[in-house]
Amino acid sequence: MEFRDLKKQYQALKTDIDQAMVDVATSGAYIMGSPVKELEKELAEYVGVKHCLSCANGTDALTLALKALGIGKGDAVFVPDFTFFSSAEVVSLEGATPVFVDVDPRTFNMDPRSLDDAIRSVLDHMDLRPKAVIAVDLFGLPANFTDIRAIAKREGMYVIEDGAQGFGGSIRMPKASGDGFEARRACSFGDISTTSFFPAKPLGCYGDGGAVFTDNDEWAALIESYRVHGKGSFKYDNVRIGLNSRLDTLQAAILRIKFRAFKEHELADVNKMAEYYTQLFDGMTKFLKKEIQITTPYIPDGYTSSWAQYTIQLSVPSGNGTFNREALQAKLKAKGIPSMVYYPTPMSQQTAFKEVHSYALTPNAQNLAKCVLSLPMHPYITREEVRQVVETLISSL
Ligand SMILES: *Cc1c(COP(=O)(O)O)cnc(C)c1O
């Protein structure tokens, strides 16, 4: 069994993907060919924002967002302690200071109360300006943007949504007109939002890729410039120091085919499989020894996930010793079932951040790093495979 079966997806879409790749090779427009603009238009429309600018990867997408917002030395940028390294790495790369915030143990996402504590703690130190929040849609579930946006507004901070794993998720929110509710899509919740097209993300290409989303014309123009060496009125007029960060035409052409399948059935299929996992776990935990608890993913009311990961928590009620996660993974592997630990180390414990001051305690992030386990999940997994994962896991415990 594959953890994320990209080969099976390719077999399903092969005819169209092969044709798209041949078309690009034939066209000769390998950089910024027409599929790039077409993809950007389709993505912006789906997400519900004015501008989508593609780039070389999800990490660059975050860097471009920080550059457009003018974030740098002396600025505090609040980042969840439980995420992929990129979310915080880009902050340090721009010379700003990442401030790690604890997460909600049920959603895995930034806890607004911890954000409040961290802001107050930074303000008491007076040597950094609270400038922005990078809220991450971890494992496909959008962060609590209602509360995070309210806090950011109160403090005069920007919100950046790191939607690398969140593309396709949504939150039911009041309409701007005040008349009823609407489901708003991930990558529309930040002042600037980003995503990644790394192959294993909910919408992935066949290499590296990423995109930035915003409604703001001025930031969009800056990002357009920053992604091509800080270009001015034309390519060889360079008005600022930028990056070389474009999405290849080939990747854009592949993504257009994959995006169609994503909208037509993949997102719905992966949601059905997540529901099936949870239903099976709920029905089987009664066979578990009392020493171990399995917690299945929690999706708050009004939220939908794009299921970048299906992540359970394995915990031992206090006083019963520790649980050996590696031994369980080895047992699963021996029976042909891959599993992954996303993520084993909170940001605040990473060697690269050992000089970064901690402004807030992050007990939930520390605990999750010890008890999470991600299971095989993708739109082409079968009910039989899901059942096999759950049964093998329960019997291995
Ligand atoms: C994958 C990921 C990124 C970075 O994306 P790349 O395309 O690999 O650079 C950033 N943030 C999160 C949360 C991610 O999962």
Q: Is 293 helix (H, G, I), strand (E, B) or coil?
A: strand
Contact yes or no for 194/228 (Cβ under 8 A)? no
Residue with tokens 């171990």: 292
Name residues contacting ligand 1 (CB within 6 A): 57-59, 83-84, 86-87, 136, 162, 164-165, 196, 198, 208, 210
DSSP letter at 282?
A: H
Side chain identity, residue 105: P
- pTM value? 0.97
Q: What is the pLDDT along the chain (397 residues), one digit of tens a residue?
A: 999 999 999 999 999 999 999 999 999 999 999 999 999 999 999 999 999 999 999 999 999 999 999 999 999 999 999 999 999 999 999 999 999 999 999 999 999 999 999 999 999 987 999 999 999 999 999 999 999 999 999 999 999 999 999 999 999 999 988 899 999 999 999 999 999 999 999 999 999 999 999 999 999 999 999 999 999 998 899 999 999 999 999 999 999 999 999 999 999 999 999 999 999 999 987 777 677 889 999 999 999 999 999 999 998 776 666 778 999 999 999 999 999 999 999 999 999 999 998 888 999 999 999 999 999 999 999 999 999 999 999 999 8
For residue 245, CA distances in Å to 54, 154, 345 come to 8, 34, 29
* Strand 293-295 with 303-304, pairing: unpaired
In angstroms, what is the span from residue 198 Cα to ligand 1's centroid? 7
In angstroms, what is the span from residue 133 Cα to ligand 1's centroid? 16
Among 84, 203, 208, 347, the mutation site with the greatest number of ligand 1 atoms within 8 A of its Cβ is: 84
Q: Where are the alpha helices (DSSP H) in 111-174?
A: 112-125, 145-155
Phi, psi torsion values for 67, nearest 5 degrees: -65, -45
In angstroms, what is the span from residue 201 Cα to ligand 1's centroid? 8
User: Whose Cα sits closest to atom 7 in ligand 1?
Assistant: 58
In angstroms, what is the span from residue 164 Cα to ligand 1's centroid? 5
In angstroms, what is the span from residue 59 Cα to ligand 1's centroid? 6
Q: Cα 366 from chain centroid?
A: 19
Q: Is the peptide bond before 359 cis (omega within 30 degrees of 0)?
A: no
Nearest to 102 by CA among 373, 375, 369, 371: 369
